Structure 1
């Protein structure tokens, strides 16, 4: 791969946990097919929330991106441990059975240029899914649309699953129409932040699947089972300035075991049966969010959570429970710049708000 000479200008990070501006000028890079494209090199940025702990999360840093435009290029770059930054251009279709196994890697970034999308239409249990991320550390996934085939309960795959990973920062992405779920996190994963990310279901659910649910638009499962006791002390996750948009029915998120902060986020799916779901031994801090036209915004489920603290939220047009379980949640070991609930909707739905809205590998709008 040839690159023109370039100067990577690092811009100072601003704010308590703010981001950094994109390096400038960016180099041009020749991709695998020989087409010349612009590689977007980013300064090392500071992850907010739980991903700031345990040494922090920086991904591949300022490594020159490998640009991919086809499935074969994407798979080769993802599975190559020597490639530290992957830039996705355009729409890449994941073939049936082509879910990419992203395993045993450290310090890597995968991001999309403006409009980048990873899409699958497969609704079979064996052939579904986009990414399966396992036993990785220090990853950044940014500015990508994960476009699934629509919900169908056949015990298939999520758009993306994070399994036994530490220090992962998912920033400015959109996960939609996952077959089983949009983004699930499980099996001792920890020190994870999901920021400025949108979850949605745009396609009608397909009924009659073998799993038993005729409407499995269940977005985010944290922890796989009450019996997965190795998750105790793990699954420490921050969801900040996210948007659970129309179409989502439940699991926004559903949490077992973890210390999970859901903060400054918008919930406005009138399709919902449950919003935030407090599962077995969950320790939840639900803070300064906006719930609009949501049924059962806070679902205490079997009332076996460790703590569910609900504070500073606004509830408009909701039905069902809006309260915690009377116990004080954990105190985060990090500091975020909190918005009042009255400012959340404008921030989350704004031009550079939740979703793949930043157009590349930039942290300029990722500070919290």
Structure 2
């Protein structure tokens, strides 16, 4: 009997993405899976129910009916979401497990098998399933457009008979996927772009997309999987001191720094911004996870007073949904690639000897099983 994949309509206000497109439905169907899509699930991403049906999906509001059925979700599920799922359901989506351990406990007690695509191991086989990278790519691009829209000058240098307009000086803090895309986008718009990241590999990556790397007198802070690790308080303060002159010199700042499982690192304090030029713009991509910029608030654009006048501080929220069509296209194929890799003759049959499975499965057979969760939250896991 074939496993059935259920694509839900997201419930969080402002979330416009969907986990399936007509193309991804065809891919799932080709693997022998059945697909059900909630009515209107793709409306914000430009996908009609008729398009899903033409690709072979059934349009229905019901949820998974039993073991082996699969639920796709963009945002982390809530405890009430889990209450509606029968034992043995497989959930696949973004889980944010470090901030949702209570929900994982509920998933385990409900005997659900939970896969977190934001926990995929950094291996070559997982690249086509990497939701963090596919969505960060779009976020980095959109951040620069937000900054350009708020900036009261042109980005690129322009020479005219009436005079020369200087290019915008852009500073990008954090050179992961989002940061690199921000650098490349700002460069294409004609900005003079510099960037900083604590990881040792960042200098070459920044230069590869046209940016100038800022070398601070600090040791690199690399964690496993190509991520950055959290800095100690004294070292973080020293980093802010060294970054201050670069902050003051910038016309536009884009911050994208994140540490997995931790609040976003504070990179720019309000005091650091005091010497910025009037009319400058700061966009904080990490505003929803604690913020890289002390003055930012998620979903707001605020004037921040500085000695020379004011700076615009934009705290990002739901930025992926601003590009819902492309975000959903990439997201849907990430999901389809992952689930079809687990599918054998039309049934989702996870092989726990596979690094792809063991690296992303959080709960199974009534227990929280991922070692990163069990090590960090032993008391919660033991309950």
Give the TM-score, by structure 1 length. 0.27
**Would you tell me which structure has more helix in proportion to its own residues?**
2
The structure whose RCO (Cα within 8 Å, separation 6+) is larger is 2
Give the TM-score, by structure 2 length. 0.26
Give the greater-gyration-radius structure (CA): 2
**Would you tell me which structure has more strand in proportion to its own residues?**
1
